[in-house]
Structure 1
């Protein structure tokens, strides 16, 4: 019976970490459903971007209020969880505050005191975030895509953080030996009066209960991340590292189109020649993207990394003028479709069975795609370097090159370019008549 709590702790720890690993493997599998793209160039610049943007939060502070509060939560939550290492050792070996003996009372007290101050700051910041999200009527939190689960998900994380920070402080306040030592109890000492008159046994029960709920809550939080927009806590680092380094507005050439053009320009090429035996390119490659498997793996990583903060949508000129397009919704719908494809594969023993759906039309409408002005405002604003525009452009390419489904105005322009060498409906001989007018 003496070692029963340690055994229970070990089982909970293995189960929590094991389930997390299973979900991460599933996440990796889903991302790898995308087409290959090489993002191994300029390693130093990529590392710099990751350190500045993901770790240093450099793009968050462009909006100072939310940026400052986010840094408090980010730094506080990460540093406080260093204390989880002590909890794990104590839980496995039955010790109590094992680091106090190893680090000495003064240094240990400094660490825990710092953690308590950060915990209090995180709690205050999270409360402010809750009011901003639920009571401040900030437009980007009121969009239609933020109804239902996305709204509840954002609040769930805030509740998680409030509870975890409170439990940490209550655990310290109810620890009689820690309070009597008089080191590190910078904030918890103000909670102690709430327990006046409690017996030592009652205080021990409160301390142990807070300890257990705190660590179990962290394991639950860890596994909740996979189902939450807060997956960006982990994915912001690879996402910023593998982000596109080309100048904004520079579009990539489709290799399939380049191959077709070269074939047309080669006088010796036989367009009707049968493909070589065993060649995999007997079926021409699809132009553009109509489903998530047509996108590249970085775009799918983008979808999972989306923080749903709405900075992209709040700066989108199309959205600001009342059009259907919301770059945030593009990323959310891409992630939803990717999750649906992943579940399909799981249910069919590792093979995707056609479900009659695709990203285009079933999730994202042509109206949304054609509303985009390709101004890159969404890409510029994203705090973790997500690129909704690349998905929009790939889907537009599919509409134009596979379905000839461009808007009438665009079709007229392309027809004029083909026939007249210019976007306007004038004969080539008449193109310079304007210069002769007086």
Structure 2
């Protein structure tokens, strides 16, 4: 009863803390402007199934796709084993699913072990790619100590959890063979049976190892759960809603501001009466609260994999722009805004903004708007939308832009075309 009570207290505390932290992230996301992404639900479900569930955009890099698939499938299926462990912890039972499932239980445990080995292997490969092979896309000015450590922490934790799971099963299997205590004969152990010879033959020592690994495994999973909201690995949960609410419009299609559209219509038609839309608000985005909730969700969904930056032509030619940095800066800034709200109230202003304090103008104007980054992202994140909204602010609110753009703006205003020639001369080239 003491062990059960302790486990229940730990479980309740873990769920409470996780819910609290997820609530803060949800609050932060909803600080963004409203945006309608509810159209065409059938296509949205299809998109989510294909990209988030089917991992179709991962296959462009086959090795990473296979390794990630092992971890992904392992994470989903091994949760059935986690459910059994939790029920055992609550009710004080042991392998509670063994009797109801009968012979299927052996197949499941054997499958879990094979998946655990594949997850272990994939994590080792990923650690080697990051820390020995030093792949270029895992580096960059934005990849400071914490982002690099975060990835290593998660991979190390998963390796330890899989090791604990297999060692627990190995000890359990030997205790079953010894007919010790409540260790009923249940399960198949194709992987952990190779670990068994490394363990002692003393039943009490085996029981201590089995219980120690059991507690380490389940408490480690609950700790991992509460680590997610602080980590890039929160994409485990957000990848599904983020792909469901994907932008279904053609890549790069700009949005129109109602206030500007109404003004243009009024200029063309004096009889036009615009609908009341309230305050026009800011043109473009200076800070994160000027972005939409979808932009902020994407910032929290970013996996920091670097695929976007690795295909960015501006980044490849040595310019400052890194689409991954755009998303990481957006996430860091909205997190800072949320902390300010928690500490000082919702009306607190810290005199900082996403523009200039996090993202420089040089980065923004380096973008060629080619959409390579949005195409490469495995979870349909769109850094370009944030870039163009911040450019819109610079141009429409501050009237600042590179000289070449100002020249083009002036030509459009005076000549109706980007060139310096008058309208009457626009077709002279044909002669």
Does TM, normalized by the shorter one, top 0.5? yes
CA displacement, residues 269-296 of structure 1 (integer Å, 9 cap, x when unaligned): 799xxxx9xx883x54211010111101
Give yes or no for contact 2:98–2:186 (8 Å, CA) kept in 1. Answer: no
2:377 is the counterpart of 1:382: yes
TM-score scaled by structure 2? Answer: 0.95
Structure 1 pair 80–15 and aligned structure 2 pair: CA distance change class (3 A): same
How far apart, in 2, do the equivalents of 1:50 and 1:280 lie?
Answer: 33
TM-score scaled by structure 1? Answer: 0.93
Cα displacement (A) at 1:417 = 1.4
2:358 to 355, 360, 363: 363
> Corresponding residue for 2:419?
424
Structure 1 pair 220–182 and aligned structure 2 pair: CA distance change class (3 A): closer
2:352 is the counterpart of 1:354: no
CA displacement, residues 376-418 of structure 1 (integer Å, 9 cap, x when unaligned): 1001000000000011011110011000111111001110111
Structure 1 pair 412–187 and aligned structure 2 pair: CA distance change class (3 A): same
> Corresponding residue for 1:54?
52
Give yes or no for contact 1:112–1:184 (8 Å, CA) kept in 2. Answer: yes
Across the aligned residues of Structure 1 and Structure 2, the Cα RMSD in angstroms comes to: 1.8
Cα displacement (A) at 1:422 = 2.1
Cα displacement (A) at 1:145 = 1.1
Unpaired runs of 5+ residues, structure 1, are none
Structure 1 pair 431–264 and aligned structure 2 pair: CA distance change class (3 A): closer
CA displacement, residues 305-344 of structure 1 (integer Å, 9 cap, x when unaligned): 0000000000011111111100000000000000000001
1:125 to 100, 114, 122: 122
| Bigger mean CA offset, 388-397 vs 417-426 | 417-426
Cα displacement (A) at 1:29 = 0.7
> Corresponding residue for 1:216?
219
> Corresponding residue for 1:344?
340
Unpaired runs of 5+ residues, structure 2, are 179-184
Structure 1 pair 270–69 and aligned structure 2 pair: CA distance change class (3 A): closer
Structure 1 pair 280–257 and aligned structure 2 pair: CA distance change class (3 A): closer
> Corresponding residue for 1:309?
305
Structure 1 pair 287–188 and aligned structure 2 pair: CA distance change class (3 A): same
How far apart, in 2, do the equivalents of 1:388 and 1:396 lie?
Answer: 13
Give yes or no for contact 2:175–2:207 (8 Å, CA) kept in 1. Answer: no
2:390 to 377, 395, 402: 395
Equivalent residues in 2 for 1:144-183 (5 A)?
Answer: 144-175=141-172, 176-178=174-176, 181=185, 183=187
Cα displacement (A) at 1:427 = 4.1
Equivalent residues in 2 for 1:19-418 (5 A)?
Answer: 19-104=17-102, 106-175=103-172, 176-178=174-176, 181=185, 183-196=187-200, 198-267=201-270, 281=278, 284-349=280-345, 351-418=346-413
Cα displacement (A) at 1:177 = 3.7
Give yes or no for contact 1:172–1:178 (8 Å, CA) kept in 2. Answer: no
CA displacement, residues 340-398 of structure 1 (integer Å, 9 cap, x when unaligned): 0000111124x141100010110111111111111110010000000000110111100
How far apart, in 2, do the equivalents of 1:356 and 1:290 lie?
Answer: 12
How far apart, in 2, do the equivalents of 1:201 and 1:435 lie?
Answer: 94
> Corresponding residue for 2:182?
none
